[in-house]
Amino acid sequence: MEAASVDEALALLKAHRFELLLTDVDLAGHSDVQLAIAACRETPELGVVFVTGYDLALNEDERRALPRAIRLRKPFDPLALINALNAAAVR
């Protein structure tokens, strides 16, 4: 499923069960980190992959709230995406 904003994503996460969250740092609305933290509160076993062209440095509280998060740096090839999703799914 796809969401255009954090609010849409949160509504989808509450309405459906997901194993993985793939999110972009530039998602409109709030920060993708806030989205991932909120999603992991609802589903602690959720795997998270952040796609970003920026340096993404999580602070200590964010790392604690997102122990399964993986960062995938843009640009990336399809194999890198597959590997990141697989890694997030088994953590």
pLDDT digits (tens, 9 = 90+) for 37-81: 999 988 888 999 999 887 777 889 998 999 889 999 999 999 999
Cα angle 91, 24, 42; round to 5: 50
DSSP strands (E only) in the chain: 20-24, 47-52, 69-73
CATH number, domain of 68, equals: 3.40.50.2300
pTM of this structure: 0.85
What residue has token string 């509450």? Answer: 14
72 lies in some domain: yes
Other Cβ atoms within 10 Å of 28 Cβ, number:
11
Q: What is the band of 27 on the pLDDT scale with cuts at 50, 70, 90?
A: low
Asked if 89 contacts 19 with a C-beta cutoff of 8 angstroms, the reply is yes
Q: Is the pLDDT of residue 6 over 90?
A: no
Give the residue numbers spanning the domain of 74: 6-90
How sure is the predictor about 29, in pLDDT bands with cuts at 50, 70 and 90? very low
Please state, in angstroms and as integers, the Cα–Cα distance from residue 83 to each residue in 29, 71, 80, 90, following that order. 28, 11, 5, 11
Whether residue 1 is contained in a domain is answered as: no
Q: Is the peptide bond before 78 cis (omega within 30 degrees of 0)?
A: no
